[in-house]
Each structure stands twice: as C-alpha cells, then as structure tokens.
Structure 1
Amino acid sequence: MTFAKPVLLTGAAGALGSWLRPQLLARYGALISSDIAPIEAPLPGETFVQCDLADGVAVERLVSQAGPIVHFGGQSVEAPFHRIMASNILGTYNMFESARRNSNKRIVFASSNHVIGFHETTTRLDAESVMKPDGYYGVSKAFGENLASLYVDKHGLEIACLRIGTSIPEPKDARHLATWLAYDDLLSLIDACLTAPELGFEVIYGASANDRGWWDNSKTRYVRWTPKDNAERFAAKLLPNGDQRDQNDIAVRFQGGPFCSQNYDRQN
C-alpha cells in the first residue's frame, strides 16, 4: 500500500524506530524518518530529518512534507519532569497541532502501558479502564491520549493510541511474560491502524497473545488486529522453578512493574 505523501516515523534513531524503518519503508514505499539524534545513513527511499519535537516551527516543517504519522518520538523511560515535559508533552502537542494545520489526518501514537501502571496485576483491563499512571512518563502518555481524544473530537483527526507493553526481541523477566509485544506483532498493529478504513479515536493495548496477559482489546471499535506470538514459549527459560517472586513487592503487585517502585514512598 502507498499513500499520497510518505509516512513519517518519529523516534527513528531509537530501538523500535531503528527496527521499524526498513519495515515501514518496504511496506509503504517511501518514508520520512526523524529524531533528535542522528542516524548512520538513510536507506534508499528514506529521507532523514533531524528534529527536536519541542521546536514547534521545526515540527511544522517536518509534518508538512508527510502523510500518515507514526509518532514514536520522545522520552521513552521515566525521567525528571522537565525532560518529560519538553519531549512528551510539548512535543506531542506540536505533533498533533502540526498535523491539524497540515491536514495530516491519521496518526499512530506510541502511548504506553505505564498509563495504567498502578492497576494491580490481578485486574484485567480494557480500553475503558481508568488511567492510573505510574510516573511522570506515564502521566505524559496519559496527556497524549487525552490530547488525541480532543483532536479527534474537535478537529477530525484519526488517532490510534497504542499502549505498548514491552517491545523487545524476546522477554527478559517474569513481568514480560504478560507485557511482551513481539516486533512482528508491533508491525502488524501499526499496519492495521494505518490501513483501517476508519479510525476515529482508538486505544489499543500493544501486547502479543500472551497466556499471562492482563489486557483486553475486545472494545476496540475500528482496528482489527490479531497478534500471533506468545511470550509463554519463554516461560520455562525465565521461570525454571516457577514464579517465586514476592507478590507483595510493589514492582510485582502492580502492572507498571519497576516504574511503580521507583521513588515509591507511600507508607500505607
């Protein structure tokens, strides 16, 4: 499938962006990649634009060249608030506002499972579950989802918010048996969002078909996506003696894992 203008990928120098670049290019034929950090060399058919998301003028110029947007740029882990604010809050506003001004209607936004991190692991969640962020990073992604809702309702954009779990080549610890999103499943999810006949505002949990998963996508309205991989095939390697973790440990009790326990000082 091709679009009238190239797909824009932000966060192209990051771990996910670096893997997605050749995949999106092969799928859609032309790609504009962007990041605040440089990349080694653009691929044939790819244009790279170095851009700070906090610079509204630069983002406007970037978006004006593009069609659909895959917005994976920004701070990807917990950090001091001022850093989160610049890249994830101001940067997301600049991206959505530039899309509105340039009639870039469809956006796939990399939200995060850390939007709902302070739900307990015994609770199964869907798209209508209450947000319970587990840090400044999670708060910034909750902001992005609410901003997306506004831009869909008020300006007619189409935005899919992907609450991505743990997207790495393979699970590394017990928590990942619930949160893992295989790279191929991530790619198929992005493709499902970009090619859906209608999108509107959609919240989708980005996790593979994990036996131990906590999230339910049955309430999605527009995107039809069926993940294929399953983290359970790594369970024997990761938990050779079964799950012996302390279930009262904050990082085990809550879905956000170590994001919840970082700087946790609640006494009751």
Structure 2
Amino acid sequence: MSAAPSGPRTILLTGAAGGLGTLMRELLPRHGYALRLLDVRPVEGAPDAIVADLNDTEALREAVRGVDGVLHLAGISLESTFDKILESNIKGTYQLYEAVRAEAASRADGTAPRVVFASSNHAIGYTPRPRVEDGDPLVPVGTPRRPDTFYGLSKSFGEDLAQFYWDKHGLETVSVRIGSCFKEPTDVRMMSVWMSPADGARLFHAALSARDVGHTVVYGSSANTRLWWDLSTARALGYEPQDDSEEYAEKLLAEFGPLSDTDPAHLHMGGRFVNDPPVWPY
C-alpha cells in the first residue's frame, strides 16, 4: 500500500467549492492530476461534481471508487459550535476514512488511495509564537498539540484518526498543518504562516506522490523569511517552496505596524483564534 501512484492519477478533491478547493482545482491539473470533485454545495463550472455531505456514506463510497488519492479539504474552516464541528469535521472525516478503507479492501491488487488531510496550525494554536529574530528555534511538528478552538480540536482529532488508520489498516496519510493559503498575505502575522497557492499545489503534489509516508505530519507554508515553523518533514517529501511573503512586508508593515508583545492575537501560533475566532457563517 505504500508505493506512490504512477501514470495518470485521479484524485478526489473534497471541499472543491471552497476557497482553497477552488485554487487547487486550477493548479493541481498542472501537476498531472485528473480531479474528481465533491462538495456539499454545487461547484461552479463543474456540472459533473458530486454534491453530497460527507456523512452520506453511499455517495462517499462511490466518490472514492477507483481513485489514487484523496485531498481532503472539506469541512468547516472557522470556529463554530461543537455540534456543527462534530458533524462536519469529526464524523465527516471518519466517514471519509471508512470509505477509503472499504475501497482498499475491495481492490485485488492491494493498493489503497493515499489521503492528504488538511490539518491546520490551529491544532497547535496555543503554542507561543517563536521569536525567531531573537534566536528562538522553529516550531517542530512534534510540538505538543494545543488546539485553540473546537475547529483546532477537530484537526487534532483528524491527525489522530490518520495515525490510527495507518497503524490499524495500513492507510497512508500526510497531514498538512496549513497556515493561510491566499493569493497574498493580508496582515503582518500572516507573513509567517502564509502559503502561496502555487506552493500549496507543490506541497499537495509532494504529499500525494512521495513514497512510504505512513502517517507524516508537515507544516504548510511557503519559504517565508519570517517563518515560524520547521518545514523539514515537508521538504523530506520532495516539497520545494518557491515563494516568500517578504515581498509584501513593506506594504503590510506600513499598514499594520510590527507584531505586538501585548496583543493576544500576536502571542500565539493561532493568532486571533485564541481570543476572537472568526465564526463559520452557516
């Protein structure tokens, strides 16, 4: 089950109508992927997309049939009530792994789809931000998880679920603790955790194509001058980030000023999620 796929690669992209999913719909085909799209909402411009909830087990089972991998971006991406997070991010991710397990069991050749799980820096949100400029080391992937919200808690669960399905069933996963993947950073803090869309596609490609990943946790960001975390496990997959948020520094510093040592949103890895988290609007 550990070998990377060769030849044409069909990937199930969950959350295809979301912001990150929309970016990856454009970028991943350039890396040689054919995409099968799934979202709870219709996907604009993609009439063949599967419209289904992650807890629709029959639709999910059909969605993973024959795929080489799954890029799992679906779910609530901000804070919400525990009940909503439970249904979407926790139960939904469990149902995805069950569908992948069933697909693997049905294959005579013993192969299994590789899962790339969109984890988040909010799984370690209460970790103090390092003062790298003062000599603090970069934050490693092995730092204890300290989720900052129910959302962050669901990402911690997802990482544990991935580890369980590797240990119990031999299903491989790369859990990517994504920082902020937008076309450009929007504030000074984001400069440390920003991942350009092009680097996001490069990282997801590396996670889908590397060999023998077992369950690997990586941070997802560009090669930022102000980087807070250690990208070594991502680079070990073959990820070579090419972008740096520093090109936006002059504009953002002029607008916002430097990070504050008294602002709670600047003291922790999770930013404003620790004290004033944005709330999922649905």
Q: TM-score, normalised by structure 1?
A: 0.90
CA pair 199-222 structure 1, distance change in 2 beyond 3 A: farther
Instruction: Please state whether the residue corresponding to 1:149 is helix, strand or coil.
Output: helix
Is 2:15 aligned against 1:11?
yes
Distance between the aligned counterparts of 1:201 and 1:12, measured in 2? 24
Cα distance, 1:97 vs. partner? 1.2
Distance between the aligned counterparts of 1:190 and 1:244, measured in 2? 31
Is 2:35 aligned against 1:28?
no
**Aligned residues of 2:172 and 2:214 also touching (Cα < 8 A):** yes
Q: Which residue of 2 aligns with 1:77?
A: 78
Q: Which residue of 2 aligns with 1:120?
A: 128
Counterpart code for 2:201: L
CA pair 130-110 structure 1, distance change in 2 beyond 3 A: same
CA pair 252-64 structure 1, distance change in 2 beyond 3 A: same
Q: Which residue of 1 aligns with 2:107?
A: none
Q: Which residue of 2 aligns with 1:92?
A: 93
Cα distance, 1:62 vs. partner? 1.6
Counterpart code for 2:39: D
Q: Which residue of 2 aligns with 1:105?
A: 113
Counterpart code for 2:45: A
**Aligned residues of 1:2 and 1:28 also touching (Cα < 8 A):** no
Residue number among 244, 264, 277 corresponding to 1:250 in the alignment? 264
Instruction: Please state whether the residue corresponding to 1:239 is helix, strand or coil.
Output: helix
Q: Which residue of 2 aligns with 1:171?
A: 185
Q: Deviation string for 1:160-209 (max 9, x for gaps)?
A: 00000010000110111101000110000011111112221111100111
Cα distance, 1:216 vs. partner? 0.3
Greater relative contact order (Cα < 8 A, sep 6+): 2
Distance between the aligned counterparts of 2:177 and 2:139, measured in 1? 11
CA pair 57-222 structure 1, distance change in 2 beyond 3 A: farther
Cα distance, 1:221 vs. partner? 8.8
Distance between the aligned counterparts of 2:155 and 2:28, measured in 1? 23
Distance between the aligned counterparts of 2:8 and 2:186, measured in 1? 40
Q: Which residue of 1 aligns with 2:224?
A: 210
Cα distance, 1:244 vs. partner? 4.2
Is 2:207 aligned against 1:193?
yes
CA pair 246-5 structure 1, distance change in 2 beyond 3 A: closer
Distance between the aligned counterparts of 1:219 and 1:256, measured in 2? 21
Cα distance, 1:6 vs. partner? 2.0
Is 2:238 aligned against 1:232?
no
CA pair 230-201 structure 1, distance change in 2 beyond 3 A: same
**Aligned residues of 1:199 and 1:222 also touching (Cα < 8 A):** no
Unaligned runs of 5+ in 2: 105-111, 131-135, 278-282
Cα distance, 1:59 vs. partner? 1.5
Cα distance, 1:34 vs. partner? 0.5
**Aligned residues of 2:9 and 2:32 also touching (Cα < 8 A):** no
Unaligned runs of 5+ in 1: 264-268
Identity in percent: 39
CA pair 250-29 structure 1, distance change in 2 beyond 3 A: closer
